[in-house]
Amino acid sequence: MSTFKFCYYYVIIIYMAQKLSPTAKRMKAIRDKRAAMTDDRRLKKAENQRKRRAAIKAGKNIKGKDYDHKDRKFKSVSKNRGNDGSGTKREGKKNYFTTKTMKKT
């Protein structure tokens, strides 16, 4: 009878940053900040916070989920950011809603 020793290697995946020059990194930070501070993004962030707080208060398990402004419900991160497997190329701003910019459906 022989015994085997198993070695388990755990791979920690750290966010793979883009390899940018210092100037490009600075410019990207400025662009990202400007995009995050638009009225549309600020409304979505505020709505997301309200929805998360309400869901937690109601006892729902939303760990690892994002709020989908198009479908108006919590989804897994991969489903939400990947547009349910359809990709994000054809997705437009018209499909997203916040409580202030809601369309009647």
**35, 64, 9, 15: CA torsion to nearest 10:** 0
Burial of 69 (0-12, 13-18, 19+ CB in 10 A): buried
- Mean pLDDT calculated for residue range 55-72: 89
Nearest-angstrom CA–CA distance, 42 and 38: 6
5-40 per-position pLDDT tens digit = 555 555 555 566 778 899 999 999 999 999 999 998
Ordered by start, the domain boundaries in the chain are 22-95
Of 59, 54, 86, whose CA–CA distance to 70 is shortest? Answer: 86
- Three-state secondary structure call for residue 76: strand
Rounded to the nearest integer, the mean pLDDT of the chain is: 79
89-101 per-position pLDDT tens digit = 666 666 666 666 5
Q: What is the pTM of this model?
A: 0.58
As given in the structure block, the two tokens for residue 13 are: 């995946």
pLDDT grade for 67, boundaries at 50, 70 and 90: confident
Which residue shows structure tokens 């990202």?
32
Q: Higher-confidence residue: 74 or 105?
A: 74
Among 22-26, 56-60, 67-71, whose mean pLDDT is lowest? 67-71
From the centroid of its chain, how far is CA 36?
A: 13
